[in-house]
């Protein structure tokens, strides 16, 4: 990290009303609030079932390197009819949006309008957020029909590949080492081994 860089102001979070029924925001509400200038560029959050959950920030060097190198690699491999989106707002339902590290889908649909089952591949890179990506995000992606979901452990570079969503779980889960080829089942042209990437 550059020694002169000042950390962005970190938004305080809360769990004060744990157990109580809380206000449920919709995606439309959040967009109206954003349009009034409420959020700064540092306010990164996801909307999960109507609740605003700030994203872990800063994400860390390893996380950012894998995310950026992998996205670049996939974008180079991709055919003209695919789109590789980085950190898009992925609207899963009227009260839920997430911001996956990488989202691959067909070009004919704008990312903003994409439905869960239309995603070809969702990738989350996890450094500090491993349990969040596996325990919180996984059931959300599965229940919205996202057909393939990769969670890359930024420390070990092991990828957990989830396929066959059923209810809020995936019935086909396997872990692949960085030397193994990761082949997206819906976009096999984007096959990659993490050790091909320049991650150091």
Partner 1 sequence: MNEHFTFPPQRATTRAAEVLPRWRWTVAEVERLTANGIFSEYDKFELLGGEIVPMSPKGRRHELVREELAFRLTKLAPRGIFVASESQFNLSADTYTGPDILVRPAAIKTPDMRGGDALLLIEVADSSLAYDLKTKAPLYASNGIPEYWVIDALTLMTTVHLRPHDGVYASVDEFPPTKRLVPTLVPALTVSLDELDLG
Residue 16: phi and psi, rounded to 5, are -60, -35
CB 97 within 8 A of CB 90: yes
Q: Residue 44, interface with partner 1 (CB under 8 A)?
A: no
Instruction: Specify the DSSP element, H or E, that contains 134.
Output: none
Nearer to partner 1, 11 or 73 (CB): 11
Nearer to partner 1, 8 or 185 (CB): 8
Near partner 1 by CB under 8 A, which window of 44-52, 108-116, 158-166, 176-184?
A: 44-52
Site string for partner 1, 92-121 (x = CB under 8 A): ---x--------------------------
Query: Which listed residue (27, 44, 48, 89) binds partner 1 by CB under 8 A?
Result: 48
Query: Which listed residue (4, 7, 23, 81) binds partner 1 by CB under 8 A?
Result: 23
CA nearest neighbour of 88 among 132, 49, 123:
123
Nearer to partner 1, 28 or 155 (CB): 28
Query: Which listed residue (29, 64, 69, 118) binds partner 1 by CB under 8 A?
Result: 29
Q: Residue 164, interface with partner 1 (CB under 8 A)?
A: no
CA nearest neighbour of 87 among 139, 138, 48, 124:
124
Nearer to partner 1, 52 or 75 (CB): 52
CB 47 within 8 A of CB 97: yes
For 167, left (φ over 0), alpha (ψ -120 to 50), or beta? Answer: left
Residue with tokens 């590290």: 101
């Amino acid at each position: 990290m550059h020694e002169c860089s000042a950390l962005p102001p970190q938004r305080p979070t809360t769990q004060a009303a744990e157990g109580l029924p809380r206000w449920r925001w919709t995606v439309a509400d959040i967009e109206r609030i954003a349009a009034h200038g409420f959020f700064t560029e540092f306010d990164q959050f996801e909307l999960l079932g109507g609740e605003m959950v700030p994203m872990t920030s800063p994400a860390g060097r390893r996380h950012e390197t894998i995310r950026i190198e992998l996205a670049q690699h996939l974008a180079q491999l991709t055919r003209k009819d695919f789109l590789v989106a980085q950190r898009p707002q992925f609207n899963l339902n009227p009260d839920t949006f997430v911001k996956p590290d990488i989202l691959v889908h067909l070009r004919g649909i704008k990312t903003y309008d994409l439905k869960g089952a239309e995603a070809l591949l969702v990738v989350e890179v996890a450094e500090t957020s491993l349990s969040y990506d596996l325990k919180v995000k996984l059931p959300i992606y599965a229940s919205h029909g996202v057909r393939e979901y990769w969670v890359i452990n930024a420390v070990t570079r092991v990828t957990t590949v989830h396929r066959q969503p059923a209810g809020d779980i995936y019935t086909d889960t396997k872990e692949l080492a960085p030397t193994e080829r990761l082949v997206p089942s819906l976009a096999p042209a984007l096959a990659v081994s993490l050790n091909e990437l320049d991650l150091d």
